[in-house]
Amino acid sequence: MTKILKDKLKKGKLFVPYIMAGAQGLERLPEEIEMLIEAGASAIELGVPFSDPVADGPVIQAAGLRAFEQQVTLKKIIRVLKENKFSVPLILMGYSNSFFHYGIKKLINDLQVTDVKGLIIPDLPYEHQSLILEDLKEVALLPLVSLTSSSERIQTLVSNAEGFVYAVTVNGITGTDQNYRTDLTNHLTKIKELSAIPVLAGFGISTKEHVEKFEQVCDGVVIGSKIVHSLDEKGIVETKELLATII
């Protein structure tokens, strides 16, 4: 996955959208993914609904509840991904319990016939990654680096990382109504200096001004809540039009 993103980076900054898988029904998921690819996605994060999403803000929490109401499960998400092929890497973003309950070895085995190339697990500490690393094979475990991480901690998190580094731009949960710290640019610059793989800024990015700001110091951006809200309120066509004004 790292090579794919580095190759894409040669052509321009990276854009990774996040959507909650099944929030509008799993039958619509392939169409949503294809729309995001047409909108310029370099890779796509698919949220796995979970009962206690500690890193998610109200928009994504609500999307997870809608997915739960439609009985969306990790098993059903993977079934849809097995039945469809896409032209960009997919990343499953979810919480430890979902993946461990499924079974890590079974999960990775099932993902071999999908386009899923990465996992993001916000509640899995670096010190516990050994629980799954030896089973991952060609699936990357993408690190999140917080604002409170020291230089030493950042170096540890990115030293053997694959895919891209997810640089969290706020302390707290996701969402579009965020105030960014004045020293954020210095923090992101530090991560870039220490990382051998692409660094993407995420959490709260919702406008063209945000994108331009973070692309000055990072290799691209992750946009989630803005897209999730638009898909819920407006639909696929309108969301594609919205992205054209941001990216």
Could you give the residue numbers annotated as active site? 45, 56
Q: Exposed/middle/buried for 237, CB within 10 Å: 0-12, 13-18, 19+?
A: exposed
Of 142, 193, 188, residue with least CA distance to 169: 188
SS3 of residue 119 by DSSP: strand
Contact assessment for residue 148 and residue 174, using Cβ atoms and an 8 Å cutoff: no
Q: If you search the block for the tokens 């580094």, which residue do you land on?
A: 165
Q: Is the dihedral of CA 122, 128, 129, 132 positive or negative?
A: negative
Of 167, 99, 85, residue with least CA distance to 136: 99
Q: If you search the block for the tokens 């894409």, which residue do you land on?
A: 8
- In eight-state DSSP terms, residue 127 is G
Q: How many residues appear in the chain?
A: 247
